[in-house]
Every structure is written in C-alpha cells, then in structure tokens.
Structure 1
Amino acid sequence: MPKVMAADKPWALISEVGENGYYEELAVIMKEHFQIMSLCDFLQNPALHGQKIQVLFMWKFYPEATPALLALLPSLRVVCSGGTGTDHLDIPYINSLGVKIANTPHVVSDATADFAMGLLLASARKIFEGQEIAKAPNTAIIPQSLMGVEVTGSTLGIIGMGEVGYKIAQRSKGFDMKILYHNRSRRSLEDEAAVGATYCENMDDLLKMSDFVMLSLRFTPQSIGLIGHRELSLMKPTATLINISRGLVVDQDALVQALQLTTIQAAALDVTHPEPLPRDHPLLSLPNALITPHMGISSTSTAKKIIQKMVDNAIAAVKGLPIPDEVKPQL
C-alpha cells in the first residue's frame, strides 16, 4: 500500500498524546492514516481547524462528544469510541447531525475477564492489604487479619452472561467454582455445559446462593440501581460483590451501608459513579472495599487492538464505506 503523505491525510481530533491520553506507540497507529490534533491545540483556534476535522477519536470517554464540541466540527463524519460501552454517547443526537458512531467490540473481552478474576482473587485473598503489611517498616509478625476467603470450590454468580461474562465463567472453571448465572436470555445448553454453568431465571436466587457476585452486564437505563438495599440484603454476609459493568448499576449509598454494617463481606469495584470518586467519598475509606480506576481493558496488546479497530472504522467512514462496528440507536 503506498504511503499516504501528511498533506493528504484526513484530520482527526484526539485528547492528547502522552500520559493522560494516547501513548506514542498507540498514536503512531493513528498517524499512519490521519493528521491528528489534540483537543488543547484545537481549542486555541477552533474556527481555523473545525472545518478540517472529520473524525473524533474518543479514548476513555475523552474528548467528550458534547453538543458544544460537536457544533465546532461541521465536517465531522464519525465518532470512534474505544471500548464496547456507548452509554457516554447521545447516539440519537449525534446521528441527527449526520455523524456516525463506532465502538470496538470483541477485542476487550479477554482483558476485561482477566481483570475481573484479578479483582475477585485480590479481594478474596486480601492481596493489597498483604502488600501494605509486607512493605510497612514496622512489620514484625503477620497478623491474623490477613485471613482470606477460599476461592477454589466456591460459588460464583454472574449477572450478565454476554461475551465478557462467559469468558469469566471459562476462567472460573479453572478454580473449580460452581457457576450460576442470570441473563436476559438463557444461553444454549452447549454453552452451559462447556463451563458447568447453571441458569437462574430469578436473580434473587443467584444472590442468595453466591459467595461472589460478579456484575458484567451491559449497561442500559433499565440496569441503573439494579443492586440496591434489597439485593444486598439477600446476599450472604460472607459474600463479595464485584462490579466491572458500570458504577450506576449499583446503588453506592446502599453499598456503603452494606459494607459498613457487614451485610456483605467485601466489594471489589473497577467502576464507580462518578469516575473518579470525590476524594472524600466514604467508599474510599472502607477497608473492605477494593477500588480500581476503570482499568479492566488496560493492557498493551488490547490497547493496540482497540486503536486499530478505531482507525479501521474511521477510514471506512471517511471513505463513505460501511463502518464495520457502527453503533445505531436501539429501536
């Protein structure tokens, strides 16, 4: 394929290149096909640059596709968002402007499932607490407070058995876990048999029987507050809640209370609302809450796959071709 000269490349808007944006090795993938401009540089003179921008690349929700920003981009053809979720996008509004939307499905599932198991193991075996004690200058003995929960042979309840949820089940099978799942639709008997999963039509049954409850469902308006006071009260007092879906799926006030009163034993969260939490949020000070900054897809190989998919979608949009991963409003 002949090399595209910089002057001939279509323009794309990004957050920035660097620690708070795209690592240089990822930006290189974009630069092969696009003339990229950081949001900071763009906002210095939007009237000059706005007509050039045909693609908005969103990485970890930035730059936000707000009406104010979109109004500055009259030539925009596509918003390419990294990751699977699209709840941060006003799809009908963006489409009403004649702008397409694309995401990057299927390339984030393995990394997310790996991280979900990492959260489960770290919380159950108090790995981070152990690290703090091991590194503390005054540690002389290993305290009994590091006694953890056995993962092998325990019961994992997965709420949301889509692509990611199923990969979590596959990994859990290696720990000889008993797997329950609740989903909008039941998976095939072959899928269930492959991972030894049992379908729970009633989510309450799953909550009552699980030692670990994993939230891996796709976020929709109907899933807001899915786990609240009532649901937490159904869980075992020895159970752990793990959330890799979206923060709004859990009523955080109810979760704080459940952790304070030990209604449940622990929570491990890669997602919160908002992100990051205010520095004085009570979840941050609870010893039985493990919180990470929405880093489930943060692996080098996965990031490269995401960027390549974003670029492929953008190239198709600019050329007026069908976009491989176009997102359309749900009817």
Structure 2
Amino acid sequence: MALSAKAQPRFGFTLIELLVVIAIIAVLIGLLVPAVQKVREAANRMSCTNNLKQLAIAMHSYHDANQKFPANQQQIGTNVWESLSATFWILPYIEQDAVFKSVTVPTNAPAQGVSTAGAGNRTAWSNAYNGAMNVAIKTMVCPSAIPGPRRGANNRGWDGPGSNYGWCYGSRVFANWDGSSNGFISQTKQNRMADVSDGTSNTIMAGEFLSGSNARATAGPGKYPFDIFFAGDALYNSVANKDFATAAELDAIGAAARNRPQGILSANGTLPLWYSATQSAFNTAAPPNWSWPSAGGNCCPGGSHDWGPGIIPPRSLHSGGVNVVLGDGSVKFIRDSINLVTFQRLGNRSDGQPPGDF
C-alpha cells in the first residue's frame, strides 16, 4: 500500500503580496527623492553663499591694499581685447596666486597699450595670458548651475572653464560700451569706498548668472534662460532714463531680443578672467531671472555678440531667486518678485535713495 506524503507548508510571497511591496517601495522612493533633492539644493545654496562671501572678502582685501577697487576692464596688452576682469586682480586673495603670477602685468598697468616686451617675449606673454583664460576656478562656479559646454578653442585657444558670478555694473542700461556704469564695480573706473555713497549695505557688489548653452557653435537657436539674445543698440538708446528703465521699456527690449533667436553667440559665462559684460559682470536694469531673454547689444563690427552690453540681469537655477553679495559682505537671496525700482536702486551705488524692502 502506497504511503501518502503529508503536504509540506509553502513559504514565500504571493504575486499580489509582491505587487503590494513594490508599490510601497515606489511610494517611499517618491517621498525620499524630493527630500534628497531639497537637501542637495540647500547644500548647493550654502556653497554658493560661501563663494560670494569669499569674493567679497577678497575684494575688500584688494581695496585695503590699494585704496580702490579694481575696474572690470583693465587693458594690459597692446590689443584692446587683452584686458582683464576685476576677478583677475583678486586672485591672490582666493588662493589663486599662481594664476595671478603667471601673467606678467607691465609696470604702467592699467594704462592702455602696456605691453613693452620684444617679439619673443611678446609670444611668451601672450601664451601666459591665453593660458590663464582657460584656468578653472572653483570659487567662480555655483554647484546648482548647469556647467556650460566647453565652447571649443577659439583662435586664441580659449575654451572657457566656466563662470557663474559677476560684478554688479549697476542699474544703467548699456549702449555700445559707453562705460557709464553706476554700480559697485565699474567698467573702466576704479571706484573707492567713498564712491559707494548709498552705503555698502544697500549696494550689490556681485551676484550670480548662468553659463551659455554654446548653441551658436552648432548654428542652433538661442536657449532661454542661458543665452544672450541680440536686441540692438537702437532700443537701448530709446530708454528715457537709462538708470531706471521702466517695465514697459524693458518689455519692448525683451520682446525684440526674443524674436531674434539666431542673433546670439552663446559662450557667455565661461571666462571669469575676461572683461566682457556677460563673462564677468551683470546689471540690475531688469529683475532677477527676468522673464525675457537677457539682451545684448552691439559690440564689434560684423554683427551681434554675446559679450555686447545691454540688459544682463542676474540669473540662477535656485528656486525663486538669486544670491547676491552686498558691499558689506552680507549675502542676500533676492526673490524674482522684487519690486523693479527697488532692485535697480540696489544696483546703483549713488542714486541717493533708500532701496526699500528686499
């Protein structure tokens, strides 16, 4: 007689139980990922804040040593484009002394046309200058920003290491490099502390901007909010009070820029040591993270350029606003919704009016 085997108990999940477990895990991941992203962004904002504080401390250290702040365009070579931004002059104070010393600054700098070297030395000097342009400086990069694509070496070998911080030129709408900036840092004038008559706690020294997408390298259209679109000097010249452009005037300029998507070069925010407006400076003519594209003007013969002046507001990928550092070294998060005139006054070092709440 055959013996009947006793049924053995079975252990494990049923299909329904497995699906339930998977669903629970998916819910937990859905809750966890945003929390992790928030923590990461909070850490990035803190790092961004520290970068701006370091820049402010360095700028004040430079002023202590020289009784003036550096201008953002100081020509040190025989060619006008052989100029350096204010960032170059504070390199020793942000642990970049080797880069600073790699470029020989002639004794009569910052006068125009200063290179007195012979042909052989001139080549060596140019190589050092061009090499400095390619040095990546960690302090100049916001960890929340998307790194701009390497632009590809131009005829001077500049590839563009990336830059997300610029000096505040003030509230003035620029037209064709007129040089009349009213900000904490000027284009060609070396301001002193006394020139900041509105007070250092009421004046923006530096802030954030984004690197360009390098779309122009492939003849593609410009990409908002990363690139600088071309508007043209005629619109800038039509602004009645260039220190305080109205919202309507800004809308007209922004619309004109948006409608010319091919009129750009999108290598902005890549060269922290170069003097051009969109590489190392911005203005407060328009509010942070302006809803219109940043708008460049004429620069050089041959068309529009992303380094042309115009309306270049601060921008960031932080939610809701941008970090700026004031002249007293305090870092503030400026909301995109800030009153336009308040923001313009924050950029102006000497308009004589309190900026209001911000």
Return the TM-score normalized by structure 2.
Answer: 0.23
Greater C-alpha Rg:
2
What is the TM-score when the length of structure 1 is the normalising length? 0.24
If each structure's helix is expressed as a fraction of its own residues, which one has the higher value?
1
